Each structure stands twice: as C-alpha cells, then as structure tokens.
Amino acid sequence: MPQPNRREFLHRSLAAAALTGLDANISSAADAASSARSSPAPIVRWPEHRLRFLDLKELADFRGLKRVLVQGEKDPANPVLPLGGPAEWDHAQAYNYGLVRYDPAMKKYRNWYVGTDGRSWRGAGRITWRTGYAESADGYHWDKPRLGLFEYEGSKDNNIVWPNHVNAILVDDEESDANRRYKMATWDGSGLSMGYSPDGIHWTQSPRQAWGWPMAKQPSDPVQKMTLEARCLLRDPYETDPARRFKMYGQVTYGGSYAWPGVRMFGMVYSADGETWHKEEHNPLMSPADGSEDEIHIADVWLYEGWYVCLYEYAWFHPVTGFFTCDIRLAVSRDGVHFERIQNDVPLVPRGEPGAWDSGMVMTSNAPIVSDDEILFFYSANNDKYDYFNRTGKSESAARDPRRTGRVKWRRDGLTCLRVSPPYLERGEFVTYPAPTGALRGKRLLVNATGLEQSGSSVRAELQSADGKPLAGFSLDDSISPTNSGTSQPLRFKGREDLSEVSVDQVRLRVELRGRATRLYSIRFG
C-alpha cells in the first residue's frame, strides 16, 4: 500500500489532533491578564521568587501596559564551536544537542555536542552521528580533549564520548549513586535508551529501552504508541508526586516513526527512577492543531524559579522553496503539563539574514546558563540551503546541512518585559494579588529595568494592604524611581532604607511605568 506524502499526512494528523479537544492557549498579554482577573487568586510566588512577566498570573489588574517578548542578542563571534578537521568525525556538523553547562568547580564550560563526518546517514546503513565532548574557559575558545574511548577510522585519538546520538544530558546533583550522577537519553537506532556516568566522560548504557515505538527491547511502558525524540531530561524539584520525579520533554508523533514521520508535536514522559518511563496522559502538550505553526520540531523545558519555560522550535514549510525551517519561540507553564505560548508571532531566537550561517533552521539546546545579570544560551543552526525532505538515495550527505553552534543572550529575567502601550499613553500600571509579607521585611525593592535615563521615564511602586489601601509611607507619592538602567536597581521610599516598617500580614504591590523608553523585566525583594 503506498504511503501518504507529507502534505496528506500533515492534514490527517492535524485533524486527529484537533479531535483531542485541546484547550486553546492564551496568546496575548491582555488575554492573560483578563484570565488572571476573572479566576480565583493563583498560588503567588513572590516575594519568595522574582516577579516576572511571563504568564502574568500574579497580576490582579493590568492597564496601559503590554507584555512583549524580547529577542535574544546573538553574539557577533558566532558560530563559536569549531568544526573538526577534514579527517575528523565532526568536520561536517558540530551542534548542541546534549548540554552546555558551566562547572564552577572546574571553572569551565562543559559541552556535550553531536557531530558527523557528513557521510550518508540513511542509505549506507551505518551510524555517522556521534557525541563529542569539549571544554572552554570562556565559552568562545573550545578544547576538544583526546580521550581515547571510541574508534573513528581506525583511531581512538579523538574526543568522542559516545558512539551514537545523545538526545539530552542531566547533571543530577541529588543522585546518591556517584556512578549515575550524569544521566543521558541517547538514540539507539530504534528508540531512546538511558546512559549513566560518574564524570560525564565514561558512560554505561542501560540494557532496557526507555522509549521507542515499535519496541526493539523490553518496553518501559507497554502502551506507548507514541514516538518520542527527547530534547530535555530533568529532575523536577517542583513535582510533589514521586512517581513523576524525572521528566523527558521533546518531539512526539502518533502513528509515525523515523521511517514514516508524522506531524511533530510537543510532549512529555515521566519516571520515578529515571529508568522506567510512562506517557503523560495530556500528550500532546502543544500541537499545531492549537497553534499557527506547521509542526513543533524539538522543544526544551527549563526550570526557572517556579516556572517551566519551554523554548520550542516553531516549524513551517517555506511557501516558495518548500524547505522545512524553524526558529525558537517561547511557552511557559506552572505545572509542567499545561503550556501557554507567549506572543508566538515573534521568534525568541530568529533566523539570520539570507546567506548567514543560521539563516535556515534555528534549533534549541538544553537549558540556558543563568547568572546574576545574564541568561546565556547555546543554540544550533544551519544555513538556508537546508533541504531535508528532498534528500534521496545513498549519495545524500550531511555536508548539505552544516549545523553549527552559536551563543545568544538576554539580561537576567529578560525573555519578556512590560512597556507602556498604546504609545499615546503616558503611563500604565499593574497591581498584584496579595502575598505574605514575611519574606520581604528588612529587604529592599529591586527593579530590573532599562530606559530610566530618558526624560520622563520612571518606575514607581506602592505597597498596599490586602484590601487595596496604600500603606502609610509606602504610597506611590513616597516612591523614588531609580534613574539608571540595571538588573538590580533599588526603588526607595522617602525616609526609608528598606521595608522593615511594613506591619501587615499580606501586601499587594502596585507598580507604575512612565515613558515610552521604559522597559520593566522583573521586580524582586533583596
């Protein structure tokens, strides 16, 4: 029986996904604020956590403002991870698919990446994707140590740490077994298997298959019926159910496999021990049936002080060339299951200009590196000559898909911000739901904002009682706006160095923004 083409399969799969009755996602700041106002007060994470402007669920009122997504700042030195030499295993591709993290003990960035020599990866029936390891003191200049572990072209003089494609790596600091501190999900030709390591260099693979369909080994879950290409492996500190302690997020399809790809969506599996995995009943967590993308290619979930932040590949087929392409967009969740797209008409990491190294597909990596003032993310990309679905035959080569690795960054908490909108307004403001005051007594109000040097720009605040009345000495008129941009600028009240004199049990925070140049990224008590 002939197989359907991609267009037929796309139509059929989207129709099936639409029948699952998935709830529509909130896509605008106004809708999100309206939803927050009409719903019972949510669990409020401030002042214990920073007040960020991702899903706006802490806000009881919101007017004259707009939440906007902030595109990352690409590094002019991109791409930063070098390809191997002509005779080396990674001379055609070197891109991030495992993990980049900063190790404070080693004072180095550690990078587990995927590479290939560009030989045929379908027709020849041989493995050409491998996993390598690199180190860097600055994140720009990378050393690929000669590890002597796996043979390539008759020699072990290379930096290969695993002879196959790694999907995700977790450094599990809570693991009691030192030999399993490093965990990985790796593609074994028919599905995902787990691997373990004491140092991230020397790995042992589990004999069981973690996920795959059709199953080639003993199944973790006899009713999988879902293909998973994991992109993220994590231990979830927010999860209260021990059966769901570990999670893998990534690309899922139904009724498809790698020989016959279906429409790709975003999904998750969970595990109590990181070895035996089960399908989340709400899969898919996001689908093209409830969004504007053609497919959700790969997605990563990052745990960020109370939020599940999803950096997902918004994929489409170019209307002229027909080429498959994607960029990185943003979604967030409070429970790790129900995700909301954030202004998904704007890419978080856009494609480069035509002809640039990242002008074709921009692909997500695993977990940004967060410091006091910055979010640093290593992403992967190829140029605009990428033509995956039109490749045929044994002569096809990954050299036509030169995937590389680059850096992109945001200020701390800078994925989204608030600004005054519409532009004819002079000011806007929001008010939070009440929150306990215990964590803020003796602290200061610190603002992460830009544009405050401009004339007419300001950020002022007011502390209110739970019923909305201003607290004496902490009204808007008592507030003194910072005058400089920064990630931790003190917002003071006249005659007071801190918030020690706050006496009520719960407070609401009212914040006013003035000036078209003002951008507010977060507020915290510190």
pLDDT digits (tens, 9 = 90+) for 420-472: 999 899 999 999 999 998 878 889 999 999 999 999 999 999 999 999 999 99
Please, is 107 exposed, middle or buried when counting C-beta atoms within 10 Å of its C-beta (0-12, 13-18, 19+)? exposed
Residue 236 has pLDDT above 90, yes or no: yes
Q: What is the 3-state secondary structure (H, E, C) of 136-196?
A: ECCCCCEECCCCCCCCECCECCCCEEECCEEEEEEECCCCCCHHHCEEEEEECCCCEEEEE
Tell me the C-alpha distance between 114 and 98, whole Å. 7
Give residues with Cβ within 8 angstroms of 83, minimum separation 6: 90, 91, 92, 93, 94, 115, 402, 404
Q: Are strands 435-436 and 506-514 parallel, antiparallel or unpaired?
A: antiparallel
Overall residue count recorded for the chain in this entry: 526
Tell me how far the alpha carbon of residue 229 is from its chain's centroid.
Answer: 16
* Interval 3-20 mean pLDDT: 37
pLDDT tens-digit series, residues 56-76: 999 999 999 999 999 999 999
CB of 363 closer than 8 Å to CB of 378:
no
The pLDDT assigned to 207 comes to 87
Distance from C-alpha of 482 to C-alpha of 293, rounded to nearest angstrom: 41
CA-CA distances (angstroms) from residue 166 to 163, 191, 194, 215, 295? Answer: 9, 12, 10, 19, 22
pLDDT, position 441? 81
CATH 2.60.120, the chain: domain bounds = 34-70+416-525
Closest CA to 422 of 68, 58, 144, 7: 68
Residue 43: per-residue pLDDT: 55
Q: Which of 186, 142, 138 is nearest to 161 (CA)?
A: 186
The whole-number average pLDDT for the span 236-243 is: 95
Range 286-308 average pLDDT: 93
Closest-CA residue to 438 (of 357, 362, 505, 508): 505
pLDDT at site 212: 73
Q: What distances in angstroms separate CA 204 from CA 180, 184, 285, one per listed residue? A: 9, 10, 31
Average pLDDT in the chain: 85
Do 112 and 94 form a contact (C-beta atoms < 8 A)?
Answer: no
Torsion of CA 131, 137, 138, 142, to 10 degrees: -40
Query: For residue 135, with 0-12 CB atoms within 10 Å meaning exposed, 13-18 middle and 19 or more buried, which class applies?
Result: middle
Which residues in 435-483 belong to E strands, given as ranges?
A: 435-436, 445-450, 458-464, 479-480
Confidence at residue 317, expressed as pLDDT on a 0 to 100 scale: 83
By CB atoms closer than 10 A (0-12, 13-18, 19+), residue 494 is exposed
Q: What is the DSSP letter of 263?
A: -
| Residues 99-110: tens digit of each pLDDT | 999 999 999 999
Q: Which CATH class is domain 73-411?
A: mainly beta
Is residue 250 within 8 Å of 299, Cβ to Cβ?
yes
Please give the average per-residue pLDDT across 164-174, as a whole number. 94
Q: What per-residue confidence (pLDDT) applies to 92? A: 86
CA distance 202 to 76: 34
CATH 2.115.10.20 spans which residues of the chain? 73-411
Task: State the CATH architecture for 34-70+416-525.
Answer: Sandwich (2.60)
Rounded Cα gap, residues 478 and 495, in angstroms:
9
Residue bearing the bigger pLDDT, 154 or 1 = 154
Band of the pLDDT at 285, cuts 50, 70, 90? very high
pLDDT at 5: 39
Please compute the mean of the pLDDT values over residues 6-18 and round it to a whole number. 38
pLDDT at residue 224 in the model: 61
Cα–Cα distances in angstroms (integers) from residue 244 to residues 248, 274, 306, 474, in the given order: 10, 9, 17, 43
Q: What are the strands, taking DSSP E only, across 334-457?
A: 339-341, 362-363, 369-370, 374-381, 404-411, 416-420, 427-432, 435-436, 445-450
